[in-house]
Structures are given as structure tokens and as C-alpha cells.
Structure 1
Amino acid sequence: MDIPSSASPVDDARHPSDPAAVRPSAAVQAGWPERVDAGPHRVAYRHTVAAPAEELWAMLADPHRHHEVDGSGTVQATVVGPHRLAAGDRFTVAMRKFGVPYRMTNTVTEAEASRVIEWRHPAGHRWRWEFLDAGEGVTEVTETFDYSWARPAVRRAYELLRVPADNGRGIQSSLTRLAGRHL
């Protein structure tokens, strides 16, 4: 039986005259983030995004927009703080995990326009976004959950609770969501 070239392997069992046989079996995907070895007690992924570094940095340097790309499902739209973060700034984000609402106040530890934005969580870990201009309006974006800054007992608790793996999945989803905004 001849299968149209646009059919996916899942569609192989369908007859070519079936209209569903020529429909793609999945939506357009922005690609998948790749794991980056950032060293011990760090979880990092990189993804190519079809947008200039300046635009992406401006979005992530505005904590009022973090919920737009959050892949963990915990970040809410309610934020208190500036719309453009600089080193030393503090911002408070409404969060929700396991149905329980809470607020998190973070302190910006590094902010360099179009290159990096990083903030420290009260438990000591840091969230870092790096932007590398790859030319022609394309940017390599790396997001890192860096818990090397946390006390040893906190790091061990994170590992026992599988926080690094959970945050790794959230990072992959966040990067995919960011890239999907710029297809």
C-alpha cells in the first residue's frame, strides 16, 4: 500500500484515501531543548529561539511576564516589583504548587542587557537565563537551576525530593514555550 509521504509512522495503518492519513499526527514543534553540562548541583538546558537576544532578554527581565513562559505551572501573573530588573532589585511573585498558593520574593544577582538575567531564591538557589546571539535574529537561550549556592543540607534535601529532576522538566517546558512563541 502506498502511504503519502506526509503521513507519520503512526498513520501507516490508514488507507491512503483516508483524509486523516495525510494529516500530521502532531502539531508543529519548536524543537527540543538540549541538556547542558553546567557542573555539579546545576541543571541546565539550551534551546534555539528564532528571536533577537534583546527581545528575549527584555521579556525575562520583566518578572510581570514570567508566567507567560513558565513551564512548571507554578508561576502566577501577580507580581510586585519593577518591570525591568537590575542587579539588587527584589520582586515578589505569586506562586501555586500542589494547589497551595504562596508568594516568593527573589533578589536579582546579575542583569546584563541582552546577555544574562539571574535571581536568587530565599533558599539560596538561583535561576539564570543566558542569551547568546547566534546571528540572523536567532538566539541560543540557556536556563539554569543552580542549587550549588544552597547550604549542603538544602542541596541534599533537594536531591532526596527530586527537585533537580522536576525543575529540569520545568526548564525544558519553559524553553519550549519560549521558542514556540517565535515560530
Structure 2
Amino acid sequence: MAKHKVSRSVVIDAPAADIFDILAAPHRHPEFDGSGWVRDQIEGPQRLGPGERFGMRMRMRERVPYRVSNRVVEFEKDRRIAWRHFGPHRWRWELRPVEGGTRVTETFDYSYGLAWFYQLVGYPSHNARSIERTLVRLKELTEKSN
């Protein structure tokens, strides 16, 4: 694992375009979120593109409701999408065709600053578990619809 990044991967039996369509639709994020924090989209487009902004309703640890406004900071159709909100970290999704489908890698990238803070509050280990659950849910969601 690269320093200040948490990544996990799964192979999904579906074309990259089908998976990317789900990732690029913020209203679908609660369907595959493994953290339990993402509730629903409150603003923004139905389909994300470069530089797009979108807002989500969240709930931290089932107790604390809040909202985040995100901006797409990396975008390569059917290959890569990443967004960030007020914090310097990024959530990145990379898709690569492989035998048997598409390798999907989700990364919590906190290398852009405040790494000491993220480590202090336990985000890397929490996010590793959430990413693992998210990838299972994304795989089930995508393969079910294909």
C-alpha cells in the first residue's frame, strides 16, 4: 500500500462502462456505500463529469447528520473518477479491464495533507473496512443488473 493511501480491489463480472455509470451517478452512491454514512444526493447533476459539484446528505456513526459538497477532481470516462470535499483527501475509483470482467480499485487518498490527523482519528483503518464492504456491495449491485 502506498504511503497515506488505503486501497482495495475487486474483479466485477461486468464491462467498465456499466460500473462507471453507477459510480458517476451520485444518486446511486447510497446503494453501494459500505460505510453506512452516505444517505442521499441533495444537489448536483444526475451524471458526474470533470469539475462537477454534488452534495450529499450524510450521517456519521448513525448519530450525527451532516452534508458535504463534493467536486470531481479526476475524470477519465470508464477508467477513473475521484472527488473531494472540504478536506484535502480524495476518494478515487479506478477501473481496468481484466480477464473475467473489470478490476475496480477504490482508494482513500489522504496524501494531500493532514495525514497525521487522519491517522490520529483512525480514518485509514475505518476506511479500509468501509472500502471492503463497498466493493462487495458494488459487485453485487452491478452483477445483479447485468
TM-score normalised to the size of structure 2? 0.92
Separation (CA, whole Å) in 1 of partners of 2:22 and 2:3: 28
Q: Deviations over 1:65-115 (max 9, x none)?
A: 111100000001233111111111111100001311100011101111110
Structure 2: gaps (5+ residues) = none
Structure 1 segments, 4+ long, off by >2 Å, are none
Paired residues, number: 142
Separation (CA, whole Å) in 1 of partners of 2:47 and 2:112: 24
Q: How far has the Cα of 1:64 moved from its partner?
A: 1.0
Q: Deviations over 1:5-31 (max 9, x none)?
A: xxxxxxxxxxxxxxxxxxxxxxxxxxx
Where relative contact order (Cα < 8 A, 6+ residues apart) is larger, the structure is 2
Q: For the Cα contact (< 8 Å) 1:63–1:79, is it kept in 2?
A: no
Q: For the Cα contact (< 8 Å) 2:106–2:131, is it kept in 1?
A: yes
Which residue in the other structure is 1:83 paired with? 46
Structure 1: gaps (5+ residues) = 1-36
Q: Which amino acid aligns with 1:162?
A: G
Separation (CA, whole Å) in 2 of partners of 1:64 and 1:146: 23
TM-score normalised to the size of structure 1? 0.74
Separation (CA, whole Å) in 1 of partners of 2:136 and 2:40: 19
Separation (CA, whole Å) in 2 of partners of 1:177 and 1:78: 18
Q: Which amino acid aligns with 1:77?
A: D
CA RMSD of aligned residues (A): 1.2
- Equivalences for 1:79-118 in 2 at 5 Å? 79-98=42-61, 99-118=63-82
- Equivalences for 1:140-151 in 2 at 5 Å? 140-150=103-113
Separation (CA, whole Å) in 1 of partners of 2:102 and 2:65: 34
Rg larger in structure:
1
Which residue in the other structure is 2:136 paired with? 176
Which residue in the other structure is 1:28 paired with? none
Q: For the Cα contact (< 8 Å) 2:41–2:54, is it kept in 1?
A: no
Q: Deviations over 1:17-64 (max 9, x none)?
A: xxxxxxxxxxxxxxxxxxxx2x11000001011111000001001111
Q: Which structure dedicates a bigger proportion of its chain to strand?
A: 2
Separation (CA, whole Å) in 2 of partners of 1:106 and 1:78: 11
Q: For the Cα contact (< 8 Å) 2:82–2:93, is it kept in 1?
A: yes
Which residue in the other structure is 1:123 paired with? 87
Q: For the Cα contact (< 8 Å) 1:71–1:173, is it kept in 2?
A: yes
Residue 1 of structure 2 is aligned to residue 41 of structure 1: no
